[in-house]
Amino acid sequence: MGALLQDVMSGLAAGSIYGALALALVFVFRSTGVVNFAQGEMAMISTYISLSFYNLGVPLLAAVVLSMACSFLIGITVERTLIRPVAGRTAHAASIVTVGLFLAANGIAGYVWGVEPRGFPSLFSRESVGLGGARIAVADLGALAVLVVLVFLLFLLFEKTRVGLMMRAAASQPASARMAGAPVSNLLMSGWGISAAVGAVAGALIAPAVFVSPGMMGPVFIYALAAAALGGLSSPLGAVLGGWIIGVAEAVIAPRVDFIGSQLAILIPLTIIFLVLLLRPAGLLGVQEVKRV
Amino acid sequence: MKALRSHGAKLAALVLVLVLAVVPFYETPYNNNQITLIFIFAMAILGLNLLAGYTGQLSVAQSLLLGIGGYTAAILVTEIEMPHLLTIPAAGFVAMFFGWLIAMPVLRLQGFYLMVVTLALVFVLSPVVKEFPSVTGGPEGLLIDAPEGVGTLATDQYVYLVALAVGVLLFALAARLVNSAHGPAMKAVRDNEVVAEAIGIKTTRTKTGAFLFASAFAGVAGSLYVQVIGYVSPDSFGIGLGLALFAGAFIGGIGTIAGALIGATFVQVVPLLAGRTDASLTGVIYGTAVIVSIMAFPEGLAGLGATVNKRLRKRSTGTSPTVSPDPPTAPAATPTTSISSSRNETR
């Protein structure tokens, strides 16, 4: 029992990180209808920025917050300079541009910071606490708490503020929103900015475990994509639930099924993506799109 | 006019092939191998072009299928000592079979969902290969002997010429396919699947067919790849190669046959040049080139002339190129229009 609880908790913690990155994906998708394949790489750059601030002597928490601000600026710059020019051209053009951004960001990080992995300090203590016969790492509880706070803040922003209302309007009915006086282009830009800032949080959470390197977000990004697909690309709550389901499934199944082991753990998100997209393409909480010609 | 252009293209292709056939007798083995690799990547990109450019199904799993072809060839050579030449069709068929397995569920998905799944699939090859070391050599991979030269041909010359011949065959096959009735059907699926379905095109069959061609081309390329490199390992066919091939397709011109060769040259040469200063620059150049080619040249480098021409024309006459009586780019039935341009024109 204790072992299971322990696995579930570490699964929830890992799932929170996947969920955070999935949340970033969902925000971009909701605001601009683009799947940002560079979301993971942007989070990787944000993590290097956090680390650079930290190495300058800034306290870790402040370094991450500063990096979130930088990431917000990077996010809006990307939307303005790279995404907007191709928006509305074809359904795929913007997504292909993000693939280009993926490659470029990866190369830039390697060029600027080198490819050797670097350590990253944890935001939380390395202690663990006893809970019902299991030892739960404080860092796991911390990741979970951070995600819950993040979701709560974004929920408040979107559902309870005027800006949030306008953002939702701009995403679902850009033309009408513009006519009603909403600054649609600024809102879309902010959507990318917020996503990048959320990605910075995901990067800071995962970095102590995987070290900081240009390739650090590769597998995490696959899990985040799976989480977003599972929850429904248009649902923030779905992204978080999706992250938790995938994290727990991995942590609980991998050690109990010999065949899977650590190597084939990647098959778990893949299977989930497959099943969800085949059985319920809109995801658990997403809205099915109706095609019109 | 169209016939003239098509004859011109055939003549240009013939001259190119003749020149390329002479090259290995004057080049160093190292350079011959580099050019052979360009041919190989061109085959994989050509397959992707049929799938993504003509049929509009975006996949980054081309490196996975290349890997399946590569492993098939390596295993056949090491386990049952199959002659290298025979591994080429064998690898093509095995990759096609896996492509079929993947295509059945995956092609029900659309647009970026397809990209999501193919992206995840690329991450599967390496752990699966490592899990079965008795067949695949595990993390160390498999070494295979290079094919022996034939007659006076050294190994590098021989493999070069085999790759050239196979490449010519695949390019001719692709050209035939897109100029047949299937070509417009594929484009109809790309441009609007619902409409294509409504006018009686069997969209699932068209998409599956394109996926099978893409897989087979990648598999054939994979078998030649191991003959040049002499080695397969689980990490040779990862997301890096997958994205490079994807990038190559878009840089060369998605939806053009000739673009595959340009894209492949890019994929092979840029890392070599970038590696002289810093290997990380490769990604920067790839990424920038993809973004620039999508933003500025919707028809890729192969369509550069047409794009520039179109813009000049637009500027000088002030009219939209879509209404000009003799548009510089060919009408939708010829292989020089890309996804973005043809969509623009229909809007």
Please state the three-class secondary structure of chain A as a single string.
Answer: CHHHHHHHHHHHHHHHHHHHHHHHHHHHHHHHCCCCCCHHHHHHHHHHHHHHHHHCCCCHHHHHHHHHHHHHHHHHHHHHHHHHHHCCCCCCHHHHHHHHHHHHHHHHHHHHHCCCCECCCCCCCCCEEEECCEEEEHHHHHHHHHHHHHHHHHHHHHHHCHHHHHHHHHHHCHHHHHHCCCCHHHHHHHHHHHHHHHHHHHHHHHHHHHCECCCCCHHHHHHHHHHHHHHCCCCHHHHHHHHHHHHHHHHHHCCCCCCCCCHHHHHHHHHHHHHHHHHCCCCCCCCCCCCCC
Residue of A nearest to B241 (CA): A103
Report CB contact under 8 Å: B287, A95.
no
Q: What is the pLDDT of residue B220?
A: 94
The alpha-carbon gap from A49 to the nearest alpha carbon of chain B, in Å, equals 18
Interface test with A, best of B190, B280, B281, B286 (most A CBs within 10 A): B280
pLDDT band per the 50, 70, 90 thresholds, residue A69: very high
Q: Say what the ipTM of the complex is.
A: 0.82
**Could you give the domains of chain A?**
2-279 (1.10.3470)
DSSP for B203-232?
HHHHHHHHHHHHHHHHHHHHHHHHHHH-EE
Q: What is the pLDDT of residue A71?
A: 95
Could you read off the pLDDT of B278-297 as tens digits, one per residue?
778 888 888 888 888 888 76
Q: Chain-wide mean pLDDT for chain A?
A: 84
Lowest model confidence (mean pLDDT) among A249-258, B13-22, B47-56: A249-258
Task: Select from A35, A85, A266 the Cβ nearest to the Cβ of B127.
Answer: A266
Task: Select from B58, B117, B243 the Cβ nearest to the Cβ of A92.
Answer: B58
pLDDT band per the 50, 70, 90 thresholds, residue B327: very low
Report CB contact under 8 Å: A270, B128.
no
Report CB contact under 8 Å: B291, A101.
yes
**Can you list the alpha helix ranges (DSSP code H) found in chain B?**
2-22, 29-48, 62-80, 84-106, 111-131, 133-136, 155-179, 182-191, 193-198, 203-229, 239-252, 259-275, 281-295, 304-317, 339-346
Interface test with B, best of A37, A92, A268, A274 (most B CBs within 10 A): A92
Q: What is the pLDDT of residue A260?
A: 60
Residue A292 clears pLDDT 80, i.e. is over it: no
Fold of B23-279: ABC transporter involved in vitamin B12 uptake, BtuC (1.10.3470)
Q: Chain-wide mean pLDDT for chain B?
A: 79
Would residue A138 be called left, alpha or beta, if left means φ above 0 and alpha means ψ between -120 and 50 degrees? alpha
Q: Residue B266 has which token pair?
A: 């890019």
CA-wise closest residue to B335 among B264, B252, B265: B252
List CB contacts of B28: < 8 A, sequence separation 6 or more: none
Report CB contact under 8 Å: A266, B124.
yes
Could you read off the pLDDT of B81-130 as tens digits, one per residue?
888 888 889 989 999 999 998 888 777 776 667 888 888 888 888 888 88
Could you read off the pLDDT of B160-196 as tens digits, one per residue?
888 899 999 999 898 888 888 888 888 888 877 788 8
Could you read off the pLDDT of B109-121 as tens digits, one per residue?
766 678 888 888 8
Residue A173 clears pLDDT 80, i.e. is over it: no
Higher pLDDT pick, A55 / A95: A55
Report CB contact under 8 Å: A218, B123.
yes
Report CB contact under 8 Å: A100, B283.
no
Task: Select from B58, B194, B291 the Cβ nearest to the Cβ of A100.
Answer: B291
* Average pLDDT of the residues in A213-226: 87
Would residue A132 be called left, alpha or beta, if left means φ above 0 and alpha means ψ between -120 and 50 degrees? left
Q: Parallel, antiparallel, or unpaired: how do β-strands A128-131 and A134-137 relate?
A: antiparallel
- Neighboring chain A residues of B194 at a CB cutoff of 8 Å: 291, 293
Report CB contact under 8 Å: B295, A91.
no
Listed by start position, the domains of chain B span 23-279
DSSP for B180-209?
STHHHHHHHHHH-HHHHHHTT--HHHHHHH
Task: Select from A95, A273, A293 the Cβ nearest to the Cβ of B112.
Answer: A95
